[in-house]
Amino acid sequence: MRIVFLTGIWPPDVGGPATHGPEFSRFLVDRGHEVTVVTMADGEPEVRPCEVVVVSRAQPFPVRYARIAAIAAQRARRADVVYATATYAAAAAAAAAARRPLVAKLVSDPAYERARRYRLFSGSLEDFQASGNRRVEVLKAARTLALRRARAVVVPSRYLAEIACGWGLERSRITVLHNPAPSLVVSPVPSAPGTFAFVGRLTRQKDLDVAIDAVASVEEARLVVVGDGPDRARLEQRAEASTGRDRIAFVGALPREQALAVLAGAGACVISSAWENFPHAAVEALSLGVPVVATAVGGVPEIVHDGENGLLVAPGSSEAMSGALRRLLAEPGLRDALAARARPSVESLAVDRVYGALESILLEAARA
């Protein structure tokens, strides 16, 4: 099978899609398939498990988006299926031009992400679905039009599946397939007692202000922030104003192996997001035997089970987050009990099983 794979980010970018892209591409290549990736980047790709075609982010957005669609359409004429984890409109246009089937993997509501980015909407994902703002409705219509072109839509959580059904997509075309739990052998980076870790993009979605304020109010706590993004400078200033330079460290984007080593050495992974789907950071932390302290948003409760492999708190509340951090530091045996149940809780999400199911979806679409 020949696949054209469109994705918005690629290493050295960080985040769930940047992890999924190389992993799944390598899986497909190892299975004997031919993969061409079309992505956006600031420079050269860090990993190349297959051919990776880069469109520079230095170009204005309309120009680079059109370039992605044109390149993908050209490559798709020699392919069997188009697979997209972002740039859905470009993927739909390419698939239509090449008369090839499209499979889309949703990691969020792209209309909601754009509305937040353009400051057209500031509420929750759930509230966004009922918003009547005219400019917002244009974004929603474009999103739905592109996704209706997809022969199959894959979502990592039951939460997002229900939302996508509300867009008028056919339920029969939507498949829930959780993000895989990688089999990881990592040498942990030793950390001081009371150290927690955040790994991900520094964006408004992640609401890291909540974690910073929570750590600031728990004297014994420390936080290592792995990742980069548009909010980094502001968050660093907030952290310095709250704790000085001693207890919150921003180490920037790291290669995946190094980021996982930092995570493996932490007392817990912190996810303070205002909204989420099915975060890769949570799955990876649990795979390493590291418990997760997370906000109970979106699909997070489908992977983090309060009192079993982590602790769940209300979103937007630094008080709730600080309370959970204090519990982990103060309650005898709590952290070890959660850690003991972390890895077994994701055993059913083995990479071969999850990616094998996704491969089957692509094969079915290509043959239909």
The reported pLDDT for the residue numbered 82 is 98
The closest alpha carbon to 308, from 340, 279, 264, 281, belongs to 340
Q: What is the pLDDT of residues 170-205, one digit of tens each?
A: 999 999 999 998 887 889 999 999 999 999 989 988
Cβ atoms of 285 and 182 within 8 Å: the answer is no
Q: What is the pLDDT of residues 30-67, one digit of tens each?
A: 999 999 999 998 888 989 999 999 999 999 989 999 99
What band does 16 get if pLDDT is binned at 50, 70 and 90? confident
Residue 118 host element (H or E): none
What band does 143 get if pLDDT is binned at 50, 70 and 90? very high
Can you list the domains of the chain with their CATH numbers?
Answer: 2-180+350-367 (3.40.50.2000), 195-348 (3.40.50.2000)
> When comparing pLDDT for 366 and 12, which is higher?
366
Cβ atoms of 18 and 11 within 8 Å: the answer is yes
Q: In what order do the strands lie in the sheet with 174-176?
A: 51-56, 34-41, 2-7, 81-84, 102-105, 152-155, 174-176
CA atoms 300, 326, 291, 203: torsion sign: positive
Residues 6+ apart with CB under 8 A from 147: 88, 92, 104, 106, 153, 164, 167, 169
What band does 131 get if pLDDT is binned at 50, 70 and 90? confident
Least confident stretch, 179-193, 205-219, 224-238, 284-298: 179-193
Residues 6+ apart with CB under 8 A from 303: 178, 278, 279, 282, 283, 286, 345, 346
Q: At what angle do helices 232-243 and 208-217 cross, to 10 degrees?
A: 10
The reported pLDDT for the residue numbered 243 is 84
Residue 294 burial (10 A CB sphere; 0-12, 13-18, 19+):
buried
Cβ atoms of 312 and 296 within 8 Å: the answer is yes
CA atoms lying within 13 Å on the CB side of residue 284 = 26
Structure tokens at 216: 């600031």
What band does 156 get if pLDDT is binned at 50, 70 and 90? very high
Residue 271 host element (H or E): strand 268-271
Cβ atoms of 272 and 207 within 8 Å: the answer is yes
> When comparing pLDDT for 305 and 44, which is higher?
305
